[in-house]
Structure 1
Amino acid sequence: MLLTDPAVTADDATSTALLNCLVREVCAPEQQVWPDEAHLVMRLPRAGVVLRAGLTRPPAGPTYRLAPPYEERREEEWIPAPWNRLANLVAGELELATGHPNPEFLAQVDDSHTALTAIVGSRGEPAADRYIGSEQSLVAGHRFHPSPKARQGSPADWLPYAPETGASFRPLWLAVPEHLVAEEGALDAFTALESYGPTVPPNRRLLPVHPWQLSLLADNPVLQRALADGSLLNLGPSELEAVPTSSVRTAYLPDADVFCKFSLDVRITNCVRKNAWYELTGAISLNDLLPPILEKLDATFLAEPAYRTITLPDRRLYEGLGVILRQGIKSLPGTPLLAGALTDPYSTVLADLPALSTLDGAQAWWDAYVAQVAPPVLSAYLDHGVVLEPHLQNVLICVDDDGMPIHAVFRDLEGTKLTAGHWDLSHIPARVAEALTYAPDRGWNRVVYCLLVNHLTEIAAAVADLHPALEQLLWRTARRHFATHEEHPQVRALLAGVPLPAKANLRTRWSRTADRGAAYVPVPNPLAVPRPL
């Protein structure tokens, strides 16, 4: 369930995210950070400023647990440093470090703060369904992103569709003439969804549309003409309820047990969230290629069997009205929970699991968790050349009645890639194949970052928040599950303790680099053991 603690503030969440990024990407690599009793002190070496934050517990792992108060050293005193002051200091340090400004940065941080303020002020009662509650519990968002809740548009536009507020909505149905329909994949998936829709006029097919999506396209003249002349018919809201998941644009329709990945074409956190034409085709290509391999991994990957869109003469409409269907969850064992919900500081999803109530139980829980999540990801890359993207919002963990992990579920074919040179993609259009592949080293960086830095490190820290004595022991347990792949040199390097690649969200936002080209910074490897004498 969601934690309705009035102490949750947009100011604190914004400050924490900024300082987490500053420590990881600037201060720690340049050895400008040190603990001081109950505080962490960090220096901005070029700006000549010293900051400090509270620590909720002594640092024992590779990630600090920062907390208010956030302060700046002025002469001999520590004075409060509000979130907007911290944003300006971070921007100043980055401009001095890189030699170029970024006029968008402070606006993005401000947008995120505005969104957090709206979210905190609009949160309702948590969903009774545990899975839906977990999807809608990410109030603070990415702990290592400078603007984790940046969301294009006014809160009045998107709050009715915000997962963090417990929202639900009814998709609209467009009736599209058959000759204007573009679709690929197992089209019976759409036939099943259409059975929940209104009666379809002759020679037309139904296209589910997100209401926010259609409002964002309302000024498009091609769309306006098509609606005015009856080429497209807006049949109004569906009788199906849709629940926005953590990604905002992907909604779960419980009655139909299907996900609709809509194309909102707005910037959310890092990227403009739309289904580009090559991503529509790419999802179906991967959905055809991967099942024989995914079946060997002893895990589930939620299939994306089909997409549908319209072929009016405007690519913005082809991409903006494209929707990808994704397999539902009702066939999964136990109760699926979003992995990210287990780590959000304003969620009690992890603490509510009975299995973690004791020290021994928490250790056994972690052992089971790593056993379900890590081996499929490693095997996919090392044995099959498949780059999964197992970050906290792309993994569901199925738990039994006591909360013990019993199965891992991976999702999102957009983030799934193939290792270049491992696969023959000559039958796929060149632009689609380009979007589907990573060079081997880049693919490995992505796997290690998502699995270890973004995911398992955060899960371990959340378990250690409940049982502080456990953190170092947790990583000794985790080594066993990585050691089963020790015949691969990449895994031997991990077990030897080489630094891990952490995605540099702060520096990527500053340089305005596309997410695919994001830089990485080295961070300590918790799998390391003491060096032999």
Structure 2
Amino acid sequence: MTSLAPAAPSLGGRVDPDAATALALLNCAVRELCAPEQQVRVAGGHLVARLPRAGVTLRARLRRPPLLSFRLAGPIEELRDRWTVVDWRRITALIAGELELTTGAANPEFAAQVAASRDAMELIGRRRRADDADPFLASERSLVAGHRFHPSPKARQGADWPAYAPELGARFPLRWLAVRADAVAEEGDVSVLDRLGPPVRAGYRVLPAHPWQLDLLRPESDAIVDLGPYGPEAAPTSSVRTVYVPDAFLKFSLDVRITNCVRKNAWYELSGAVALTRALRPVFEELAGDLLAEPGYRTVSVGGTRLREGLGVIVREGVRGLPGTPLLAAAIADPDGDSPAAVSRLLGDDATPERVLAWWDAYAGHVVPPVLHAYLRHGVVLEPHLQNVLIAVDDEGTPVRAVFRDLEGTKLLPGPWTAFLADLPDPVARALTHDPERGWNRVVYCLFVNHLAEVAAAVADRYPLLEPALWRIVRRHVARCAEETPADTDGAARLRALLAGVPLPAKANLRTRWARDPDRQAAYVPVPNPLAEDLA
């Protein structure tokens, strides 16, 4: 077999915060403002994009030929009397102007959020040290620049965040509370908390707290006793508020804005996680994938909603016992990361075309069928975006299993789950449902646009001639799911449309941030579908 030489040297190394911020903004603008209105063209090795209402034309260099997905590189230039290099501040102002003219509304927070994200990247770059020897934790900590289609991917509120940043290798003991038994609210199995926590006197139960959150809340109640730090150190995962301890993940509330929103466990999400675990266990027994279930939560029943939500902790199963070595999918897709999970590290420098395609076939084969069958057969809307999926790999770096986590975005279709939902409190049931159209958009966006397109792009950065073959493989897996779906069903019609090449829905992160809408109400924009037979 003949080795296919990489298109460029390894892209790992320190991230330039100015360039990363500018490119993320331009990526969003191209996807959400320019391309839908046909204001994009390729010329002379550049992508040229016009902001039509602002009357501004920008361009960026194409890192590689634009076969199916654009991969941009700096510098970014603005057409004045001639092409002039512009920085992230100018791009922020230009895009804000276009958004205000497009929507008729201003957003005085936008520029500050972009700046906060850029400053966080810069700080992370200065303080970042050698990563954890554990490849799983290294993958969780590798996302220095964050999602490349988000205008402020590293925006974090407050001055205390570096002490709890996964990218900086933070580790810290949890703070533990003793809560009087009559002031405890819990559902499901939370026995891991009792094993991890300190001993307490009769009539009290232990409750872990994130030290950052506890400093923000400062709960005052004669039913709560602060026991201080205790136990094994916790390692924050890529979401910041969820931490890994030896036996489990613990998902805390944080009353700070991280990227999009304040990260709190709403009271109905606490109950919803346990309910979804009951619903999904039998579903995943039939799917070719693994679920990190969320079997229980514990919180307090005193202090009103503020403390009930603010001190609520969801217990999630850990990664011990999974096949192979679990790695965060977002780290695999990261073109500029230094994680051992990156595509370049998994495939090595001398991978043949056959090895690359076999690796990708395994990857897609473990991710696509469980997600599509969950929706089509069971009415379950999984949210398989890059930070919600772990890919377990063998000693050769080949994917052997997909592992799905974080039930917050997982929803049920009302029809198939009517009886199950009827037994839940109305607010919990409402929060757990999506209508079929919104649910399908979420599945397709997360699976194909957010996830597979980004990993495929990372592979194509190194092996650009293989990009069409990568999408032929994905098409084959989708087509197999279509063959296994009864032809007269709604699901089969959706898959036929997908294979015919109807545009894919991409979540409009830029527009959503500008409108300050909750994620559940996020808008979508159409993007080209690389599954179409004449493309793939």
SS at match of 2:143: coil
Return the letter of the residue paired with 2:442: R
Deviation for aligned residue 1:204 = 0.8
Query: Where does residue 388 of structure 2 map in the other structure?
Result: 394
Query: Where does residue 70 of structure 2 map in the other structure?
Result: 64
Whether the 8 Å CA contact 2:193–2:207 is kept in 1: the answer is no
Query: Where does residue 509 of structure 2 map in the other structure?
Result: 505
2:35 is equivalent to residue 28 of structure 1: yes
Query: Where does residue 178 of structure 2 map in the other structure?
Result: 175
Query: Where does residue 5 of structure 1 map in the other structure?
Result: 13
Output the CA distance in 2 between the equivalents of 1:11 and 1:362: 32
Deviation for aligned residue 1:194 = 2.3
Which of 320, 334, 342 is the equivalent residue of 2:324?
A: 334
2:269 is equivalent to residue 279 of structure 1: yes
Return the letter of the residue paired with 1:54: R
2:109 is equivalent to residue 104 of structure 1: yes
Change (3 A) 1:454 1:4: closer
Whether the 8 Å CA contact 1:139–1:344 is kept in 2: the answer is no
Return the letter of the residue paired with 1:185: G
Taking the TM superposition and a 5 Å limit, the aligned residue runs for 1:260-275 are 260-275=250-265
Output the CA distance in 2 between the equivalents of 1:358 and 1:386: 38
Which of 352, 363, 370 is the equivalent residue of 1:369?
A: 363
Deviation for aligned residue 1:119 = 1.5
Query: Where does residue 86 of structure 2 map in the other structure?
Result: 81
When structure 1 is superposed on structure 2, of 29-38 and 374-383 the one drifting more is: 29-38
Whether the 8 Å CA contact 2:13–2:337 is kept in 1: the answer is no
Taking the TM superposition and a 5 Å limit, the aligned residue runs for 1:114-513 are 114-154=119-159, 157-186=160-189, 190-218=190-218, 223-224=219-220, 226=221, 229=222, 231-254=223-246, 257-348=247-338, 349-354=342-347, 357-424=351-418, 425-486=421-482, 487=487, 488-513=492-517
Whether the 8 Å CA contact 1:71–1:79 is kept in 2: the answer is yes
Output the CA distance in 2 between the equivalents of 1:444 and 1:500: 11
Output the CA distance in 2 between the equivalents of 1:325 and 1:313: 22
Output the CA distance in 1 between the equivalents of 2:402 and 2:348: 17
When structure 1 is superposed on structure 2, of 274-283 and 33-42 the one drifting more is: 33-42
Output the CA distance in 1 between the equivalents of 2:206 and 2:67: 54
Deviation for aligned residue 1:38 = 2.2
When structure 1 is superposed on structure 2, of 427-436 and 195-204 the one drifting more is: 195-204
SS at match of 2:478: helix
Output the CA distance in 2 between the equivalents of 1:318 and 1:209: 12
Return the letter of the residue paired with 1:10: P
Output the CA distance in 1 between the equivalents of 2:34 and 2:533: 24
When normalised by structure 2's length, the TM-score is: 0.93
When normalised by structure 1's length, the TM-score is: 0.94
Percent identity of equivalent pairs: 61
Output the CA distance in 2 between the equivalents of 1:277 and 1:49: 46
Deviation for aligned residue 1:35 = 1.4
Deviation for aligned residue 1:273 = 0.6
Change (3 A) 1:402 1:87: same
Return the letter of the residue paired with 2:40: V
Q: What per-residue deviation string (whole Å, max 9, x for no partner) do you get for residues 365-392 of structure 1?
A: 0001010000000000011100000000
Query: Where does residue 94 of structure 1 map in the other structure?
Result: 99
Whether the 8 Å CA contact 1:355–1:402 is kept in 2: the answer is no
Whether the 8 Å CA contact 2:11–2:335 is kept in 1: the answer is no
SS at match of 1:67: strand
SS at match of 1:201: coil
Whether the 8 Å CA contact 1:355–1:362 is kept in 2: the answer is no
Whether the 8 Å CA contact 2:193–2:206 is kept in 1: the answer is no
Q: What per-residue deviation string (whole Å, max 9, x for no partner) do you get for residues 456-496 of structure 1?
A: 01111111111111101111111110011224111111100
Output the CA distance in 1 between the equivalents of 2:328 and 2:100: 37
Deviation for aligned residue 1:101 = 1.2
Pairwise CA RMSD: 1.4
SS at match of 1:64: coil
Q: What per-residue deviation string (whole Å, max 9, x for no partner) do you get for residues 271-313 of structure 1?
A: 2111000000111111112211111002101010110001113
Deviation for aligned residue 1:4 = 7.0
SS at match of 2:299: strand
Output the CA distance in 1 between the equivalents of 2:197 and 2:515: 45
Query: Where does residue 518 of structure 2 map in the other structure?
Result: 514
SS at match of 2:286: helix
Return the letter of the residue paired with 1:472: P
SS at match of 2:179: strand
Whether the 8 Å CA contact 2:50–2:57 is kept in 1: the answer is yes
The gaps in structure 2 that reach 5 residues or longer are 1-9
Whether the 8 Å CA contact 2:255–2:310 is kept in 1: the answer is yes
When structure 1 is superposed on structure 2, of 204-213 and 36-45 the one drifting more is: 36-45
The gaps in structure 1 that reach 5 residues or longer are none
Output the CA distance in 2 between the equivalents of 1:107 and 1:193: 39
Output the CA distance in 1 between the equivalents of 2:295 and 2:149: 33
Q: Which runs of 4+ in 1 moved over 4 A?
A: none
SS at match of 1:369: helix
Deviation for aligned residue 1:3 = 8.1
Return the letter of the residue paired with 2:464: P
Output the CA distance in 1 between the equivalents of 2:85 and 2:388: 37
Return the letter of the residue paired with 1:359: P
Q: What per-residue deviation string (whole Å, max 9, x for no partner) do you get for residues 22-58 of structure 1?
A: 0000111111111122211111111111111111111
Whether the 8 Å CA contact 1:151–1:267 is kept in 2: the answer is yes
Output the CA distance in 2 between the equivalents of 1:358 and 1:203: 64
Whether the 8 Å CA contact 2:12–2:335 is kept in 1: the answer is no
